[in-house]
């Protein structure tokens, strides 16, 4: 499999092609999968799962699977999975989530301190060019507006990202974000100054 793949230089982690093939096969065959997993804090655990789908975000691969021991759906970064092994035990999927939406929520809002909802005054297809699924979820409201749900540990990063989109917007949820946007607008206004020459 590796002989058929070419990687462009990027910031994403390297994935073992053999491990990816084992995981993909278990998803395809609805076969239980066990593996070692290192979480974001570095803690290592053994997982027994019922794999559903692999999702590629452009930088990383994620496995969406039902964790048998926790009896809940989880997303696992494939670069943090070690020694994946199909067990030979088949299963019937139990109410699987939409894999792309599940991963998007897992990486763009769920792990963060702040979660915001912002009304964007632009068509969803225009905004989607600047909001990858790893940054937020977009929902079309009508042909001229959409809703962005996003998260971060920094209010500044949310405010800057929304301003960077280049469209009019309204903060719907997270009052402290609205305050942060006002403070950013005032700083930018002061930064433009009055003595700037053409």
Report domain extents, the chain: 2-98, 109-192
pLDDT of residue 172: 97
Q: What is the pLDDT of residues 53-98, one digit of tens each?
A: 999 987 889 999 999 999 999 999 999 999 999 999 999 998 999 9
pLDDT of residue 13: 80
pLDDT of residue 9: 47
pLDDT of residue 11: 63
Instruction: Please indicate whether residue 178 or residue 134 has the higher confidence score (pLDDT).
Output: 178
Closest CA to 176 of 120, 114, 118: 114
> Residue 97 gets which letter from DSSP?
P
Q: How many Cα atoms within 13 Å fall on the side-chain side of residue 141? A: 13
User: What is the homologous superfamily of the domain 109-192 according to CATH?
Assistant: Malonyl-CoA ACP transacylase, ACP-binding (3.30.70.250)
Q: Is 81 helix (H, G, I), strand (E, B) or coil?
A: strand
Tell me: pLDDT of 8 over 80: no
192, two tokens: 């433009």
pLDDT of residue 198: 59
Q: What is the pLDDT of residues 95-125, one digit of tens each?
A: 999 999 899 888 888 888 999 999 999 999 9
CATH number assigned to the domain covering 2-98: 2.30.30
**Could you tell me which residues come within 8 angstroms of residue 132 by beta carbon, excluding any fewer than 6 positions away?**
57, 58
């Amino acid at each position: 499999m590796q002989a058929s793949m070419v990687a462009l230089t990027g910031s994403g982690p390297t994935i073992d092609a053999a491990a990816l093939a084992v995981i993909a096969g278990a998803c395809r065959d609805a076969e239980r999968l066990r593996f070692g997993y290192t979480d974001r804090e570095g803690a290592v655990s053994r997982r027994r799962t019922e794999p559903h789908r692999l999702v590629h975000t452009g930088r990383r691969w994620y496995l969406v699977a039902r964790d048998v021991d926790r009896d809940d759906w989880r997303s696992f970064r494939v670069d943090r999975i070690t020694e994946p092994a199909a067990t030979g035990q088949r299963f019937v999927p139990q109410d699987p989530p939409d894999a792309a939406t599940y991963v998007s929520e897992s990486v763009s809002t769920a792990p963060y301190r702040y979660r915001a909802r912002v009304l964007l005054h632009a068509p969803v297809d225009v905004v989607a060019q600047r909001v990858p699924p790893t940054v937020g979820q977009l929902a079309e409201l009508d042909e001229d507006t959409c809703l962005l749900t996003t998260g971060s540990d920094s209010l500044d990063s949310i405010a800057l990202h929304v301003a960077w989109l280049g469209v009019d917007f309204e903060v719907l949820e997270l009052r402290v974000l609205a305050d942060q946007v006002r403070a950013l607008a005032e700083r930018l206004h002061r930064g433009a100054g009055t003595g700037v020459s053409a």
